[in-house]
Structure 1
């Protein structure tokens, strides 16, 4: 039975831990999950204490070691794993095993010397600091996860689920990973090179309620024709006001925002095997010419 050992640092984020754990917990996979820490009780970032073993299970090269992230406004100020733990992580890799990190967990892999000469990623708030701390690593920015040999790193929080599903697909096949994702009600299995923040989120940092209402409509119906009059009616303002407020809040026209959503969804479909023509139709373009122009930009 394959073992998955989760290494819990003080302040561990619940979703960094629970997301991948839920993937590997699937009954059909038959993984044996273990929780190890330097103390038998660990306080999470969200305040819920969790119990862990202070003794590591016996691991083989087929087993996984996963280091979930912890609350980390700064990697340098929050690291809390001792050298003995780092040595165990390194020893597992040296013996042929795979080591995985979520979010700030990449810092533990760096301290264990596992990022030197490798590509890695982490949460977008920590990428610059990770690059400074480990100059021999190549930090790949704004991606969900990176797998470099037997070292896998993810952006953290929800992307830990994406990485865990990828590892399941690699070990057991994409059909098994798809079934696990479906059982978890995961909307889409995302590839590692997809952006950490979607177009929907990148243009939602403003505080204009009218524009948010317009975006809500575009988000849910981006594949439909949406004339300005329809958007204006939903927001209760004139078409001219929609254009003015939308541009001021997002730097885009409503049509350009809709095209970004279409492009992002089409790219996702293409990465998963769709042709450009079928992806264009699926996102609302009459043919593939507009999609090709948008991709070329």
Structure 2
């Protein structure tokens, strides 16, 4: 019964990320199979109909944006390294806005969020994207409330997802919304993926995302903090190292890094703990001590606060085999 299917258009363009198409397409395709052909109809579309070469060189066939007629249930915009050049294409941006206006819901994978933002579809909404470009999205589109950690965000009828494979997480959530969690669970089991991955994408982003201070003494202080997690890193001690009053130091540090001194120290120590968990077999007591966090209880609280995952779970997922 073709008329009963939900029509999903996935927008691609030269240089798109193939997984941003393949992941969601397999989620919707598997759901359609389990629904005996009454679930979803997935259609790749592109600025021009025909062959479209992904960033990894694989070619897919897509229909043309200008040829789309009839109702659209979901418009999903793929990301890719070529997004920066495509957001400068007014015809493509206008086509995204036009199709979105007629769709029941709109979504993006990875930095495909930039195309939604350029079309004005994220104005006044919460959104996410790949952690590497979240700061750029926030700076470029001031009316978008960017949160770099969630794997996906729903705000009204607009959904955005984080980096690359989080498009699978997003698509499973859409299937669950349409047909219930039981079907989404069966799709996830069939594809051998998590239905709900624990934690956010910050667990995959090793560098701390902070601003680089303009002041050379503060840059040197940052390096000192990162290299000496077990030192006295209290505000009085840090202010003394740069010859400032505590109040002035706290204000200037926060202004130039985007984080308060205490928050920066905690994140630096947490990042040290994360590296120790990944490359050593040290017990949690030693990891907590060597990272400056003091106790396993503090280590656990910090991990849950920053990455919504326990230290043990992080170690099991990311620990190197070469210790």
Fold in common (TM above 0.5): yes
Matched, 1:179 2:186: yes
Higher helix share: 2
- Corresponding position of 2:34: 28
Looking at structure 1, the residues matched to 19 and 272 of structure 2 have their Cα atoms a distance apart, in angstroms, of: 23
Number of residue pairs aligned between Structure 1 and Structure 2: 239
Among candidates 58, 70, 91, match of residue 69 of structure 2: 58
Mapped contact 2:200–2:308 kept (Cα < 8 A): no
Mapped contact 1:144–1:196 kept (Cα < 8 A): yes
Give 1:167 deviation, angstroms.
Answer: 0.7
SS in 1 for 2:64: coil
Residues 211 and 160 (structure 1), Cα distance of their counterparts in 2 relative to 1, 3 Å cut = closer
The gaps in structure 1 that reach 5 residues or longer are: 219-225, 229-241, 270-282, 284-297
- Report 1:21-100 matches (<5 A): 21-26=25-30, 27-29=33-35, 30-39=39-48, 40-55=50-65, 56-60=67-71, 63-71=73-81, 77-79=84-86, 82-100=89-107
Give 1:78 deviation, angstroms.
Answer: 3.3
Among candidates 152, 170, 174, match of residue 163 of structure 1: 170
- Report 1:249-268 matches (<5 A): 255=296, 259=300, 263=304
For residues 193-243 of structure 1, give each alpha carbon's deviation from its aligned partner in whole angstroms, at most 9, with x where no partner exists: x4213289677899x8x974535xx8xxxxxxx587xxxxxxxxxxxxx76
Mapped contact 2:128–2:161 kept (Cα < 8 A): yes
Normalising by structure 1, we get a TM-score of 0.67
Mapped contact 1:81–1:108 kept (Cα < 8 A): no
SS in 2 for 1:53: strand
Mapped contact 2:148–2:202 kept (Cα < 8 A): no
- Corresponding position of 2:115: 108
Looking at structure 1, the residues matched to 153 and 15 of structure 2 have their Cα atoms a distance apart, in angstroms, of: 24
Among candidates 197, 202, 209, match of residue 202 of structure 2: 197
CA RMSD of aligned residues (A): 3.7
Residues 205 and 38 (structure 1), Cα distance of their counterparts in 2 relative to 1, 3 Å cut = farther
Normalising by structure 2, we get a TM-score of 0.62
Give 1:71 deviation, angstroms.
Answer: 1.1
Looking at structure 2, the residues matched to 258 and 81 of structure 1 have their Cα atoms a distance apart, in angstroms, of: 45
